Structure 1
Amino acid sequence: MALQWMIMAYLVAAEAALAVVLTLPSPKAIRSRIVAAVSLILKPALFIVPFAGFQLLDIYWKNEHRLMCTGEVCTAEERNRYEKSMYKSQRNGVLCVAACLLYWCIFRICCYNKQIEHFEGVEKRNKDH
């Protein structure tokens, strides 16, 4: 299971880096090439959304079937283990939500840049006529 969360963490880091690269100011020629390259990556990278959804379902299932350690019956070590597992599941939930949110942000940034290029082309054609 740790490998899945490591993959998810790397995916979120890569998405964050892509979002930063897409939002940095750059010349039109470079920006259009970056947007084109990222747009080609977006469709195969859509697997992130169902992967994150599956991981969220896994977190939910484990949370529902986790042994509760809230009474005085638990030892300090058991209570620490329970709290640590809760923190890990919260962190992993945030990772899953961040993966989906960053994917959507990158998709929308690419769409907006393509629309801007399209409108600039329409404006240029109207000026020429």
Structure 2
Amino acid sequence: MALQWLILTYVVAAEATVAILLTLPSPKLLRNRIVSLVSLILQATFFIIPFAGFQLLDLYWKNEHRLTCTSEVCTATERDHYEKSIYKAQRNVLLCVAAILIYWCISQICKYQKDIQSLEELEKRYKSK
């Protein structure tokens, strides 16, 4: 189970790096190449959306069926274990949401860059006429 969260952590880190790379100022030619490369990569890595969604469903199911430790019968170690599991679940939910949100942001950035590029080409055609 920890391998899934490790993979998701690396994916979120890679997505954040790509988002930063896309938003940095760069020459037009380099930016167009980066955007086209990232667009191809986004199509190939669409699996991250259902993967993160499934992880969210898994976390929800585990949260609904988790044994609560709120009474005075629980020992201190059981209470600590319960609180630690709650914190891990909250962290993992944030990780899943970040993966989906950053993926969407990257796709929107690429879409806007392609729209800008097509508008610039249209402007060049009108100026040449």
- Structure 2 length-normalised TM: 0.99
Q: CA deviation at 1:12?
A: 0.3
Q: Which runs of 5+ in 2 are unaligned?
A: none
Summarize the alignment of residues 55-66 of structure 1 with structure 2, pairs less than 5 Å apart: 55-66=55-66
After superposition, residues 46-85 of structure 1 pair within 5 angstroms as: 46-85=46-85
The aligned residue for residue 31 of structure 1 is 31
What percent of counterpart residues are identical? 67
Aligned mates of 1:37, 1:121 — CA distance in 2: 19
State yes or no: 1:9 paired with 2:13: no
Who is 1:42 aligned against? 42
d(CA) in 1 for partners of 2:43, 2:124: 30
- 1:120 to 2:129 alignment: no
User: 1:9 is aligned with what amino acid?
Assistant: T
Q: How many residues align?
A: 129
Asked if 1:21 is matched to 2:21, the reply is yes
Matched letter for residue 78 of structure 1: E
* Cα distance in 2 between the residues matched to 1:9 and 1:79: 27
The RMSD of aligned alpha carbons is 0.4
Point out 4+ residue stretches in structure 1 off by more than 4 angstroms.
Answer: none
- Which amino acid is the alignment partner of residue 45 of structure 1? T
Query: What is the Cα deviation at residue 44 of structure 1?
Result: 1.2
Q: CA deviation at 1:106?
A: 0.2
Gaps in structure 1 of 5+ consecutive residues: none
